[in-house]
Structure 1
Amino acid sequence: MDSVVDGGVDGGAGGERVAASLTEWLSRLEFTDLGTDEVTGRIIDAVLAWAAEQGWRSYRRAASVLPLPPPMSDRHSVLDVACARRDGPPVVVEVDHTDRRRTWEKLAAEAAAGRVALWVRWGPGKFAVPPAPIHLVTCEVARHAGPAGAGRRHSRTTGPARPAPVHTARDVDPVVEPLPLPPAGF
């Protein structure tokens, strides 16, 4: 895969290229029957692998520029992934399965501080578009009910659907033949 080279870019067109690169990377991600936290973890791992492929240093749970709300305003929020790169501003990534205003606020603060802000939204679709300069990266995932007490489960496949198995004529249109009668005097 080609690396993303963004010499001296701000969050504008360079951010769009970075978002497109991550979208392409995540398009190959597959998993079956995972819980919500497992999917988020799998996507974060994929983001870290993507950053490594670009030659960037990446950090999980990096400190954000946005302080937490009171009464913990002496502490800062954390980002799912932050990436340092030589030829451009840092890239920050949040991964969510819901639309959270707090995520928008955090990423907007990061963008205002000169970082490329990416919001990876995953789920069954209909993703809200965040305000600029936050770049949306989507990862569509199918969801279904899990076993009792296990909550929702999520799966993602990227290849074509598997075709139905081939049936023989007998399987498709069975011929019903009468049973032979027992011989007389039986």
Structure 2
Amino acid sequence: MDGGADGERLAASLTCWLDRLEFVDLGTDEVTARIVEAVSAWAAEQGWRSYRRAASVLPLPPPMTDRHSVLDVACARRDGPPVVVEVDHTDRRRTWEKLTAEAAAGRVALWVRWGPGRFAVPPAPIHLVTCEVSRHSGPPGAGRRHSRTTGPARPAPVHSARDVDPVVEPLPLPPADPGAP
């Protein structure tokens, strides 16, 4: 299987795995952490070793060119080249550069892009995995909050089919207290 077909298969598999992911009212960093955790669980399910914050082949920009960028998740597998995964909620050029460098080094590059939709398609050989979430304003000072549910929307509650009498008898009022002010 060539790298392109392998990458497409892996992207589809990770998409199915993430389709089960649910959370409510999380901050941006919490969502990213939850997705990174899910990617690591997906890798473990495949029988692979996974490493969080693994060193990338791409050096950091000046003045730190002696150090390397990090990957959200890197996976070692017996049956093919390593798999690298970046998780982002925005379109970052640096992510594309990093994943392109990883692919050039022989790794399968997957980009998990999460948010409310309208995801930019990265250049080949990067394989896009999307994770759509809803967002809303949180309490003052808390920033945006994000939620993701996988089940169908909950239907409105069923109302009583019993007819209600539109004419209501007024309740009698108690007699006025003659000593009240």
Q: What TM-score do you get using the length of structure 1 for normalisation?
A: 0.89
Do structure 1's residue 156 and structure 2's residue 141 form an aligned pair? no
Distance 1:176 1:61 in 2: 70
Do structure 1's residue 179 and structure 2's residue 170 form an aligned pair? yes
Distance 1:150 1:176 in 2: 49
Residue 133 of structure 1, aligned match among 125, 134, 146: 125
Distance 1:56 1:12 in 2: 20
Return structure 1 stretches of 4+ with deviation > 4 angstroms.
180-183
Structure 2 counterpart of 1:6: none
Note closer, same or farther for the CA distance 1:132–1:169 as it changes in structure 2 (3 Å cut). same
Structure 2 counterparts to residues 63-142 of structure 1, below 5 A: 63-142=55-134
Q: C-alpha root-mean-square deviation of aligned residues, in Å?
A: 2.1
C-alpha displacement of 1:96: 0.2
Distance 1:152 1:91 in 2: 31
Q: Report if aligned partners of 1:98, 1:121 keep a CA contact under 8 Å in 2.
A: yes
Note closer, same or farther for the CA distance 1:107–1:174 as it changes in structure 2 (3 Å cut). farther
Structure 1 counterpart of 2:24: 32
Q: Percent identity?
A: 84
- Structure 2: runs of 5 or more not aligned: 175-181
Q: What TM-score do you get using the length of structure 2 for normalisation?
A: 0.91
Larger Rg belongs to? 2
- Structure 1: runs of 5 or more not aligned: 1-8
Aligned residues: 176
Distance 1:181 1:74 in 2: 87
SS in 2 for 1:73: coil
Q: Which amino acid aligns with 1:42?
A: R
C-alpha displacement of 1:27: 0.3
